[in-house]
Amino acid sequence: MKMQPSQTSLSPATFTINRRRFLQTASASLALSALGAYGLDLVNQKPRRVGLIGCGWYGKSDLWRLIQVAPVEVVSLCDPDKNMLAEAVEIASQRQKSKQKPRTYTDYRAMLKENDLDLVLIGSPDHWHALHCVAAIEAGADVYCQKPISVDVLEGEAMLDVARKHNRVVQIGTQRKSTPHLIDAKKQVVEAGLLGKIGHVEMCCYFHMRANGNPPLQPVPDFLDYELWTGPAPLRPYDGLPHKRWWRTFTEYGNGIVGDMCVHMFDTARWMLGLGWPKRITSAGGIYVQKEGKSNISDTQTATFEYDHFNCVWQHRTWGASPDPDYPWALFIYGDKGTLKASTMRADFIPLDKKAKPIHFDCFYEREKYPEDVTEKDIELNAAPATRRHMLDFLAAVEKRSRPVADIEQGHISTASCILANVAMELGRPLVYDPKQREVAGDAAANKLLRRPYRAPWQRPEPVGS
């Protein structure tokens, strides 16, 4: 593929180079030039004081990526699991420049009461995001919050209101917007008009990621404050550590595969195509195959997000095989001149014109620059470069007091749309959400489901004017 002069600063080569390697080098060049665009003086910048709420797998992963790219001081860590907290303290003290051990807390309210944090990272389970985010903002911090931003629609509206009221920067962990090969695909295919007229978008996930066991009830271990871990959610009988995958299999804490995986791909589609709120949302599905375990999230589901000129259609199955083995969790944009396939691992433009050349985009890694990636436990190597860029974009927005690439408003639209898909599936009818009125037009039953009840004594944040 011949790159356009405006797309790369590489000088013309006089030797033959492998096409895939060329594309990978081009992606690296674009990514590095993008870093300069952040305009950050990371060498002379005063270290920002950072706290992390939720020291599980992804909370720690986000924190390690931040430490890799910025002179921060991790001063506070919070988690109701003391073992998880101890592990995070040890690694943080090894990784950060000062080698200091952060303070530890089991209750986020005690951590935020110190009022000494510039940045707060939120890696807690979904049912905690709203309370943690609102409290961090009110404590004067800018926030990096994992997706989805909330477990119900009105939580998201409240979070957005609080962020705007206090003029805080809130970056959501939808880091596909900072993924080098997807940025390239957006520029070189979508924005270049190679797809022609776009008439359909498909999104999917066929990973077997729905935990569906039948563990027995057991005593809560002394290192876990299960009451505090549960917080505002319903208190399930304790049947083992809820971390990583187990909590996601229950609607008490999240919104299933749609709330976890569709958020990423739908957000990516909206970013690539410049889409706002969908006009109408429909969904159907249920537990059709995996009926043997405790899991109460759907194992099969289709959701349709309608726009003026095309629909974005989501499909997941947590059983069976993917129809495209190279793209088991992916986004497909169909135009009358070609198709763009995109995932976290790769992207391909397939033109309809047989004379036109297809374009392949490889995932970009940084093993040489960050050799610690290779030995880090449970790291998503393909996502690490994107998260680093996402953190830099977050820091640039904090410095400039501007909106980051994954601003909370965009995270809210993607999250709420996916939550509404589950509501539509539960009610068995299409929903039209009015973001100005913050209600589903003419549907009292749906509006009741926009707000989940909180378990006492926790009080839910409410949108302004509610």
Walk me through the domains of the chain, giving residue ranges and CATH numbers.
Answer: 48-176 (3.40.50.720), 177-210+251-376+408-448 (3.30.360.10)
Cα separation, 417 vs 422, whole angstroms: 9
Q: What is the pLDDT of residue 96?
A: 93
Backbone angles phi, psi at 284, to 5 degrees: -145, 150
Largest Cα separation within the chain, whole Å, is 70
Q: What is the CA radius of gyration of the chain?
A: 22
Question: 225-238 as b/e, with b when 16 or more CB fall inside 10 Å?
Answer: eeeebbbbbeeeeb
Cα separation, 365 vs 411, whole angstroms: 26
Q: What is the pLDDT of residue 44?
A: 67
**CB-based contact 234:455 (threshold 8 Å):** yes
- Residue identified by tokens 């998880």 is 84
Question: What pTM does this model have?
Answer: 0.91
Spans of the chain below 50 pLDDT: 1-35
**CB-based contact 154:451 (threshold 8 Å):** yes
Q: What is the pLDDT of residue 13?
A: 32
Q: What is the pLDDT of residue 267?
A: 98
Residues 6+ apart with CB under 8 A from 59: 52, 53, 79, 88, 121, 122, 123, 124, 146
For 140, left (φ over 0), alpha (ψ -120 to 50), or beta? left
Cα separation, 74 vs 107, whole angstroms: 17
Cα separation, 208 vs 462, whole angstroms: 36
Residue-averaged pLDDT of the chain: 92
